[in-house]
Each structure stands twice: as C-alpha cells, then as structure tokens.
Structure 1
Amino acid sequence: MSLLSVKCKLIPDASTAEKLSRTVEQFANACNYALQVARQENAWNKFALQRLVYRELRERFGLSANLAVRVIARVGKRKGHKAGGFKATSVDYDQRILSVNVDTETVSLSTVDGRARVPMRIAGYQRHLLRTAKSIQGGTLVRGRDSWYVHLWCEYDDPPAMAPNGFLGVDLGIVNIATDSDGEAYSGKHLNSVRHRYRRLRRKLQKKGTKSAKRLLKKLSGKEKRFANDLNHRISKRIVAKAQRTGRGIALEDLRGIRERVRLRKPQRATLHSWAFHDLGQKLRYKAERSGVALVWVDPANTSRQCPACGHTEKANRPTQALFRCVVCGYSGAADYVAACNIASRAAVIQPNAGVRDAMHGYRATCKPRTSVRGR
C-alpha cells in the first residue's frame, strides 16, 4: 500500500471559517500544553502521555475524543526537539472525524463547535486521484494566509513491480537541475535567475522597512517556492515517463547530509541552501512508485570524477566544473552526463533485479510518508 496526500481548496462561509479558526487555535494550544507535559515528565510514549493529558485536553480545550488523540499523536513525534512549539496552522484528522463526498464536493470535519460540512474545489486530477483511491485514511486541515485547504491522505494499491531492464541514471545539480544518462539535461538557468531576482528584491524591501515594503514582502511570500515546486513536478514527471516508456528503473545519488558536508564561500551558500534536490527526489519517488518504476539510491562518492570508460578516478579528471576529461584514457564529456552514467552503472551492480518496494526500502524510512499533490 502507498499513501498520497491530495490537496484541495476549501470554500467555507464566514461562520464556518470562524469554527475552523477556533479549532485550529485550540488544537495548537492543546499541542503546546501536551508538549510541555511530555517534556516535564519525559513521557513520549502515546499511552503514557494519554494517561497524563487526555482528560485535560477534552475539558480545557474542548476537543472531541478523536481530536485529543490526534494531538497526542502529533506531540509524540516531537521527541528530541528541545525547543519550539506548535503554531495555529493545521489540524490532523483520521477516518472517524473526516469524510469526503466527491460527487457533491464537500468534506465533513469535526470542530470544537461540532461537525462542519465545508464545500471544496476539486480539480480534474484531484478528482481522478480521489476516485481511484482504495480509501481515504484521514487528512490535515491547513489554514493558509487567506484561504483554507484540506490534504486528504489517500491509500492506493501498489502497482505491479516492473523488473527494470537497466537504469536511467540521474545526476542532480544546480546549473542543471537534473541530467540523465541518455544525455538529456534539465536546465536550472531560469530557476536560478528567479531565485536571484527574489533574493535581491527581498533584501531591498527588508532594508527599506516601510509599511508598503512589508506589504509587498507578504505578497511575494511563497512565490519562489511555488515556482520551484512546479518546475520539480514537471521535471520528475518527464523522467519517470521516460523510464517507464523504456522499461528502466531510475537511479539517484543519496545526497542526505550534503549541506553539512560541503564548505562554500559566503556568496555560494544561499544557492546551495535553496537547492531543492530533496523535493525533486521526493517527487521522483512517489511518481515512480505510482508508475511501478524501480527507484534506487547509490553512493554519490566520485560519480563526477570516475571515468565511465576505464574506471580511473582522480580529481584531475575534472579540469573545469562543466567538463570531464580522463587523464589516463582521454575520454571526455560533460561532467553531469558522466556522473549520470556512473550512477546508472552503480545501480545496475547494486540492484540488478530490484522491484519498486525492494529498491526503495533502504531510503523510504528517511522520507516523508506522504507527498502533497495539486494538479499533478
């Protein structure tokens, strides 16, 4: 089974919006209270924490039994976080306190003021996902800046695992967001120019500090993220479609911890930390999973320094950032393409007959269990 989060916009009237706002605020207050108790008593087990706070959550914050249980479940995930609390932005729901009617485009939610039936806007792709889901396990009510959304947790049967006939290696980068072992590059030039433009504009407005500048900053909030999100969706869709069409699996570098390992000069740090490689990996993961395409992660060490022809590995093989030239056999090519070829070769050795579930098992535990989809 696989879970996918389908995002739909809610259209509540004024009185319903007030109910939702009170529910979000009381849920956050309850989470912060339970978090304080958990830290004081070192009680992170859900049963131990429930014995300590359940009655208080019901009586003090006016939560239903199921909402109180969802508070405890959310707080239990904060073990190890020594600081910070919860903001009034979202509420978790399970099947018993959330139901969806796709035909009438409504969702029924439990609030602190009773049950509320809220109209929602379902686009064509979301409708397809909701109708083909085996079940809806629950969802998350999210309060945006000027709007409300519900993220529905849809469960699907895993498609038949396709035995890969080789692997399509994908090298992730900044100049080129992705380059595959077929030689196709997905340029990041436009995205990088957008990031630089927004960074300069934010710096200018923050320095100005007037009320109009702050209003514009608020208006700009999230635009860069949405642009990068859309681009990653389009790139991941093309890569998965190519792998499925050619009967291959997909191989990626395991880049976890790269931001901590890499040391850069100050002007380069913003570019590295805005690099959305994890987001692209997540989108490739769930799209591959939904298509029955095997996906594996390989060791990224020296993928752009190793010669795919003779196997010689040396730093001198990279005379420039963009060029690879082997000092032993003379093989040369674009560095990103060479890295993608090496990634594909390593995947073929490590996982020659991997299915989707087996190939992804080692990495899935570190990934978020659900990926939000809107119009994809």
Structure 2
Amino acid sequence: MKIVAQVKLLPDAAQASALSATLHLVNGLANWVSEVAFANDVPREYELRKHTYAHLKARGLGAQAAQHVIKKVRDAYTTLHANLRAGSLGKKGSTRRSKAESKPVAFRSEAAQPYDDRCLSWQYDQQTVSIWTTHGRVKGVRFACSPDALTLLQQHRKGETDLLQRDGAFYLIATCEVPEAKQYVPDGFIGVDLGIVNIATTSTGYQAAGRNLNRYRKRQLALRKKLQKKHTKSARRRLKARARREARHVKNTNHIIAKTIVTEAERTGRGLALEELKGIRTRVRLRKPQRVALHSWAFAQLADFIVYKARRAGVPLAVVDPAYSSTECAQCGHVDRRSRISQVRFACRSCGVVAHADRNASHVLARRGENLWTAGRESRVPAAQPTG
C-alpha cells in the first residue's frame, strides 16, 4: 500500500536560493516541453523525449532531471485525457472543457519536481538530505518531521520523492510502500453512515457532529465573499492562504474521525461497512443553499482515510450500496419514505420502531456489510464435483 510522508526542509540562505532556482528552471522547461507536446500531439513519452531531451540537457539539466521533466509533462497529459474521457471537465462543447483542450498544460514556477534515489539521498540519523540542484549537489540540507513520519521514512520509503515550494517554504513528499496487515475474520460489522449534519455515525454509538465544521465553513465562506469583492492582489493572496488553512482544518478533522472509527473496529474485532458514494454529486438533487454544503463536504477524503487506515490495521472492509438506507427500517427491513420524519427522527411505518435517523441508517449498512461479506465467503467455496 502506497502512502506519503511529508517533511519540511530547513535550508540556509544559499541552499534555499539553489532549491528555488532549480524549481523555477525545471518548471519553466516543463512548460516548454508541454508546448512541444501540445503542438506536435506527441502521444508517447519516448517520442516526446526525442523532441526535447537534447534541449533540456543543453539548458543545464542532468540526465535524470531531464527524464523526470519529460515524464512529468507526459503524466500531466495522461491525467488530462483521463479527466476528459470521464467527463470530469464537462461535456463536449462546454466552456470548461474547451478551455482545457485549447491550450497546453501549464506548470507553476513552484510546482513539484520528482526526484529518484540518484538525485536525492537521505541521512536519517542526522535528519539531512543531499539533493541535486542546477547549482550542483547540495549536501547537508536539514529537514524536520514528526517521529512517526521519520520512522515511516526509515522503514518504508520507496520510490520517488517530490520537491515543492509553498509559501516560501520547501517540502519533500516521499512515497512509502507500507505492507498491509493481514485481515482477521470479523465478528460482525460496524455500519458507517456519512452525512453533512453528522459527519459520521456508526452503529456502535459513535457520532461525529458536523456542527462545528459547518459553522467554521460558513464563516470562511463569508470571509471569502468579502475578500473576493476587493479584486486586489493582496486579497487574492489572502484567499489562497485561507483556502489552504480551511483544507488543513478539514483534513485534520477527517483524520481524527477515521482513526476513531478504525480503532473501534479493531478493538472489537469487527469489520467496517461503508457506503459507496461515487457519483453522489451528479445523482443527488438539492436546493441551491444545500449545494454549497454538499460540494464543500470532503466525504471522499474521509472515506479514503477510513479505507487506508483500515487496510493498515487489517480491518475487513465491505463497500455497500447505500440506496434506501435512510428510509429502510433496521429492525424489520420495511422501506418507506414516510418513515423518515425529519433529518433526525426515523419512525417505521410497519413495526413502529422509533430511532435516530442516522443511527438507524448505520445499522442498515452494518447488516448489508455482513450480508455482503457472508455472500463473498460462500462464493469462494468450490462447487461439488459430480460423482461417477
């Protein structure tokens, strides 16, 4: 399983100047390579290399750095074409799609640049790195990270590492190959109902209320509107900083919720039943005030965090169809839209059971997860061979 570890570089003035100059040069050359790829419609990395490699070498890039610049550009176009095929940039003829198709992919001057072990080496005991720059190899660049991140790097770092600059600071994003824990046989399942009012509700009683997070987002939205009206360079800079701060706050909240849920499942020896939420934004119809809450809710991020933490801990996972889970009774299985009296209250029209709506939905998901797991186990049993 691949995860990333982030460390912050602490370079001195000369080292910082070399790192900044390197990022500006490689990203400027990446924009040139992108223009070549766009103009010639170069479909493959090998063909793109024939058009650009000699020029990159002449501009002072080493062999590995030149290869990484070309690969970075080719990967960017692969991602763009995948998004176009998936419809993520709109339908054919739409303004957004036409804009993306009509010009080369562009790279910011401080965008990430990939490094491999030939261009970057780690000294974990001293907490320093030796890194290639356009000014030569820079050694002894100090870095800072948490003890957990350092242990992760020492034991599992494998593959490329990205160097990027953000708000004047330099970071390394290292890829780590972490082995998945062996899954245990679950003693039942915990259903996890994701929502906006309540971010996550489990069938064991845990509930992560979204009141504080939603209140925080509304405040940030109001502040963004004030800044957007100013139309100044300073306002745009503050908007970017505020957006990153909000993203960090949401990410931290999702990490805490995911860790709580996975730890509970691991402690009780049960599995987790998650909703399949793919495509929710396209299939759910909401009033305009509700759309802001839906589109700013990082439900995919929370689900991803639960999945990767569960895989690291060996917790079994079952992804179930959430259809009608909010209107189905966990007690008798009766489905009726009228049973969902309000956002909070559920009262079954068949058996009369009254429950918290999200709690009821989490029990429905738990039962579906257990049924799915049991069906999967049964399907793996080989069929009986005919005798005679």
CA distance in 2, matches of 1:352, 1:37: 54
CA distance in 1, matches of 2:375, 2:349: 34
Counterparts of residues 36-51 of structure 1 (less than 5 Å): 36-51=35-50
1:184 to 206, 211, 224: 206
Which amino acid counterpart does residue 74 of structure 1 have in structure 2? K
CA contact (8 A) 2:115 2:160 kept: yes
Deviations 1:192-213 (A, max 9, x none): 1111111111212332456775
What is the root-mean-square deviation of aligned Cα atoms in Å? 2.3
Which amino acid counterpart does residue 68 of structure 1 have in structure 2? A
SS of match in other structure, 1:222: helix
CA distance in 2, matches of 1:267, 1:239: 30
CA contact (8 A) 1:163 1:354 kept: no
Counterpart for residue 76 of structure 1: 74
CA contact (8 A) 1:95 1:136 kept: no
Counterpart for residue 171 of structure 1: 193
More relative contact order in 1 or in 2 (CA 8 Å, sep 6+)? Answer: 1
Q: Give 4+ residue runs of structure 1 displaced > 6 Å after superposition.
A: none
Counterpart for residue 131 of structure 1: 154
TM-score, length-scaled by structure 2 = 0.84
Matched, 1:162 2:161: no
CA distance in 2, matches of 1:213, 1:54: 40
Counterpart for residue 57 of structure 1: 56
Counterparts of residues 9-158 of structure 1 (less than 5 Å): 9-60=8-59, 62-77=60-75, 78-79=77-78, 80=81, 82=101, 84-88=105-109, 89-117=111-139, 118-133=141-156, 135-158=157-180
Counterparts of residues 236-247 of structure 1 (less than 5 Å): 236-247=258-269
Gaps of 5+ in 2: 85-100, 381-388
Deviations 1:219-252 (A, max 9, x none): 5342211111111111111111111111112221
Shift of 1:5: 0.5
CA distance in 2, matches of 1:34, 1:298: 44
CA contact (8 A) 1:253 1:298 kept: yes
CA distance in 2, matches of 1:354, 1:249: 14
Counterparts of residues 346-361 of structure 1 (less than 5 Å): 346-352=368-374
Deviations 1:290-334 (A, max 9, x none): 211122322121111122222222222212122222222222211
TM-score, length-scaled by structure 1 = 0.87
Which amino acid counterpart does residue 112 of structure 1 have in structure 2? T
Shift of 1:253: 0.9
Shift of 1:32: 2.3
Shift of 1:17: 1.4
Counterpart for residue 254 of structure 2: 232
CA distance in 1, matches of 2:357, 2:155: 42
Which amino acid counterpart does residue 14 of structure 2 have in structure 1? S
Task: Tell which structure's C-alpha radius of gyration is larger.
Answer: 2
CA distance in 1, matches of 2:375, 2:260: 23
Q: What is the number of residues matched between the two proteins?
A: 353
CA contact (8 A) 2:7 2:145 kept: yes
CA distance in 1, matches of 2:198, 2:74: 40
Which amino acid counterpart does residue 343 of structure 1 have in structure 2? L
Counterparts of residues 176-215 of structure 1 (less than 5 Å): 176-209=198-231
Which amino acid counterpart does residue 308 of structure 1 have in structure 2? A
Gaps of 5+ in 1: 359-376
CA contact (8 A) 1:179 1:337 kept: yes
CA distance in 2, matches of 1:110, 1:210: 37
Counterpart for residue 383 of structure 2: none
Shift of 1:123: 1.9
Is the deviation greater in 216-225 or in 145-154?
A: 216-225
Deviations 1:240-269 (A, max 9, x none): 111111111222111112112222222222
